[in-house]
Amino acid sequence: MISLTDTQKIGMGLTGFGVFFLFFGMILFFDKALLAIGNVLFVAGLAFVIGLERTFRFFFQKHKVKATGFFLGGVFIVLIGWPLIGMVFEIYGFFLLFRGFFPVVIGFIRRVPVLGYLLNLPGISSLVDKAGESNNMV
């Protein structure tokens, strides 16, 4: 089992609440307040989990400048009150930032009994294979 420090446990909680508020804000027709709270909690939780320096290095690498601009720009746009446009920017930036993790996540999900079966269905399998390629969203 992975041992976490107290700071990382707090970060996992903040990140979880951030994802919850983002999801709940989208379900409630892009509620500005919930999306803003979710964004702040998600970014703060990420900083707690991996540390401030590593978070800064992750977001501000030379090859991730465009992705970071879209993601943080989307967060800013949501915070100033345009949730739909901001979430579109954020989602695009999120996919650009984390596209390197998709093959690992898809490989893990394919080993989960029920989800793996669903991902291997004929129509879904080709779509998931394309999403699992690390260089397809350039």
The residues spanned by each domain of the chain are: 4-98, 99-137
- The rounded distance, in Å, linking the Cα atoms of 64 and 52 is 17
Alpha carbon 134 to chain centroid distance? 15
Residue 30's identity, in one-letter code, is F
Residues 38-53 have pLDDT tens digits of: 999 999 999 999 999 9
Q: From first to last of its 138 residues, what are the pLDDT tens digits of the chain?
A: 678 899 999 999 999 999 999 999 999 999 999 999 999 999 999 999 999 999 999 999 999 999 999 999 999 999 999 999 999 999 999 999 988 888 888 888 888 888 889 888 888 888 888 877 755 444
Query: In terms of Cα–Cα distance, which of 2, 35, 4, 5 is closest to 21?
Result: 35
pLDDT at 105: 83
Q: What amino acid is encoded at 53 in this protein?
A: E
Separation in Å, CA 112 to CA 37, 43, 60: 32, 28, 34
Cβ 34 vs Cβ 73: under 8 Å: no
